């Protein structure tokens, strides 16, 4: 990152259902620098783009993504007739015309399959230079760094959310992982800027806050409304 970059949080979720192809296409067509998205594995080992563990919030179905195969998942409406996309489909849509901040969603610490499949998919499309791999969990990042032989950029995410373990909320995983970037929640951005890593803050949805953080030296912002903030990133 030589200049601050703007990422759409799960695409353009104020216009289209989050983490769907139209949501990502809206960022691409508006020349937003990048998209932030979440990946996890289905029961049959397919790499899908979806944030939550279950379908309840999005589709009112009390089933885990990991308990269903992709044949079943792709029949489910996640809003406005849209379906849960495979990561392959997102890469096919956007290719190397955009940057990707890919958050690993993995609960099984004994299973390395997600990190391996993610790296294989990225390499299949030749997109290693376009991707940052993110996670709250340092174990996921360490495993990915091992799989990719430390050849790709990573980011430690942290939050004030009490459901996140205390050490991760405070960003201490940076000492273990030595990431390329820190990804603090907006409220922790100023503190993160005192560390030695470039900062990409989330989620920033007002021009006033975006201007404030850019003036303080953040290297990127993740927003639910990237089109609103786009004029601030025209250099």
pLDDT digits (tens, 9 = 90+) for 91-138: 999 999 999 999 999 876 667 899 999 999 999 999 999 999 999 888
Question: Quick one: pLDDT band at residue 14, thresholds 50, 70, 90?
Answer: very high
Contact 133, 141 (CB under 8 A): yes
CATH number for the domain formed by residue range(s) 5-233: 3.20.20.190
Domain boundaries defined on the chain: 5-233
Q: How far apart are CA 190 and CA 177, in angstroms?
A: 21
Question: Quick one: pLDDT band at residue 76, thresholds 50, 70, 90?
Answer: very high
Q: What is the reported pTM?
A: 0.95
pLDDT for 57 equals: 98
Q: How far apart are CA 183 and CA 221, in angstroms?
A: 9
pLDDT for 196 equals: 85
- Mean predicted lDDT score pLDDT of the chain: 93
């Amino acid at each position: 990152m030589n200049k601050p970059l703007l990422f759409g949080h799960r695409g353009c979720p104020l216009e289209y259902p989050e983490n769907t192809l139209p949501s990502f296409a809206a960022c691409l067509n508006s020349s937003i620098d990048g998209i932030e998205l979440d990946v996890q594995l289905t029961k049959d080992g397919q790499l899908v783009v979806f944030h939550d563990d279950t379908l309840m919030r999005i589709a009112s179905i009390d089933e885990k993504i990991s308990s269903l195969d992709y044949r079943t998942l792709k029949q489910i409406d996640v809003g406005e007739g849209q379906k849960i996309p495979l990561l392959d489909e997102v890469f096919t849509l956007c290719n190397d015309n955009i940057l990707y901040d890919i958050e690993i969603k993995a609960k099984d610490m004994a299973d390395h399959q997600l990190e391996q499949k993610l790296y294989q998919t990225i390499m299949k499309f030749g997109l290693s230079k376009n991707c940052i791999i993110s996670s709250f969990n340092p174990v996921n990042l360490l495993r990915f760094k091992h799989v990719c032989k430390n050849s790709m950029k990573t980011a430690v995410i942290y939050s004030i959310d009490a459901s996140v373990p205390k050490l991760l909320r405070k960003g201490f995983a940076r000492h273990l992982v030595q990431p390329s970037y820190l990804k603090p929640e907006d409220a922790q951005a100023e503190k993160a800027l005192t560390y030695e890593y470039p900062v990409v803050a989330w989620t920033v949805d007002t021009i006033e806050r975006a201007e404030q953080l850019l003036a303080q030296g953040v290297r990127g912002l993740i927003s639910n409304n990237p089109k609103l903030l786009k004029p601030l990133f025209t250099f």
